[in-house]
Amino acid sequence: MHISCSLNLTKDLFCNNVWSNVTVLSLVGNWHHENAVDLDSNTFERFGNLEELRFVGVLIVTLYPGSFRGLVNLRVLDLSNCLSLGYSN
């Protein structure tokens, strides 16, 4: 599944249980504009079967405590295109 983004991702955005069936998720940014994604706590708590999480063209990623909580099956986390990775309390 691909999601175009330049926003603050919260658990409320993914509140439906349908997300538990997703195994591969690509968050796709816009290469032509500065874009950023903030990953709030528990953003992916409904993604229990997610195996691959890729950030494609997302230049700035900010993590918060518990951003990846619930990703017990995650095997691939691709932040290779990210120019700036931050952490905030």
Question: Is residue 15 over pLDDT 80?
Answer: no
In sequence order, what are the residues at sequence separation of 6 or more whose Cβ sits closer than 8 angstroms to the Cβ of residue 32? none
Q: Would you mind telling me the total number of residues written for the chain in this entry?
A: 89
Check residue 54 and give its pLDDT: 92
Which run of H or of E encompasses 8?
Answer: strand 8-9
Give the model confidence (pLDDT) of 19-73 as tens digits: 888 999 888 876 555 677 888 888 888 889 999 999 888 888 889 999 999 999 9
Q: Where are the domains of the chain?
A: 2-87
pTM more than 0.85: no
